[in-house]
Every structure is written in structure tokens, then in C-alpha cells.
Amino acid sequence: MPLLRIYEAPDPMLRQISTPVEAIDDELRVLIADMFETMYDAPGIGLAAVQVGVPRRLLVMDLQEPSDPDDEDSPPIRQPRVFINPVIESHSDSEVPYTEGCLSVPDQYAEVMRPDHIRATWMDEHGKRHDQELDGLLAICLQHEMDHLEGVLFIDHLSKLKRDMVLKKLAKARRERGAIAF
């Protein structure tokens, strides 16, 4: 399976609003497998389809728990999850800070405030519907990835000053590694 190109800010692809997935078919399953391979290779814990140039309401996540919590070098236990047409049905009024990063804003991190509990609905790759209360890292990651489906990056939650600083650092890093700027 091929690794997919991950679009980086400020590419306009990342600002597209994703359309619903209409059918779970072999083509979608191939995309899901390619997205997981790309996410693991990056490495990351979440990836929205729009980040690889497919503006559809699909995302994959794997929080990859360590096999031995007392040994941070232990191999991770993979727990891949697929979210098709996810919707946040409700969220808590309280928010928590979390330092976020993004494969589309490589090597840049910032603290973002998000609701600490959500109730979400989605379908998995088998067409099974889910309705679940989520909290912790899973809730934060799902909100982050769902932002991508609306053309929103985590840096959009920052002040203009902080966002501009992150974008300048990203541009500098891109120049230093000889990447093409958009």
C-alpha cells in the first residue's frame, strides 16, 4: 500500500470542507488502509482524509497504548479506529488545555482548550453505527481530527500572534529542509 502525501499548512486543500461518505466500499477500505499506513509512518495518532487530499468525512486514529506502561520504550499496542461521518452530538461546558500537534503543521505544538467530554456518533469501516461518550485523549483527538473536516487547523484556535509565530516557524523549517512552499 502506498504512503499518501500529507498536505501541510498553508495549502488550500486543508481549508476545504469535507463531504459525507456515501458508501463504504472497497475503494474506501483501500483509502482507510493507506491512511493508517501513512499515519503510522509519519508518525501520528490521527489523520483526516482531507489531510491526504480527499475531502470526505473520514478519519482514522490510533492512540497506541504502550504494551508496558512502566517502560516507555516498550512496543505500542495498536488500537486502530475508523470514524466515518462523525458528529459531535454534545460536549461538556468545561474545557481542558492540551498541547496539540498536527501532521499538517509538522513539528509545531501549542496548547489548545477543548471540551473534556463529548458524545459522538459515527460509523466504522463495517458500517456499524456508534454512539459513545468519550473523554481524555480520545475526545481531544476526535475533536482535533473533526476540525479538519471543517477546514479548521489546531492553530486556528490560537491567538493571531501565536498562530503567526507557528506559521513562521513552519515556513522556516520548510526552507531549511528544502521543501517547496505553497
Residues with a catalytic annotation lie at 145
**Burial label, 21 (beta-carbon count in 10 A; 0-12, 13-18, 19+):** middle
- Segments of 6-150 assigned E as strands: 46-48, 58-61, 65-66, 76-77, 81-91, 95-102, 105-115, 117-123, 129-135
CA-to-CA distance for 85 and 57, rounded, in angstroms? 5
CA-to-CA distance for 87 and 120, rounded, in angstroms? 6
Distance of CA 125 to the CA centre of its chain: 17
**C-alpha cell belonging to residue 6:** 500529507
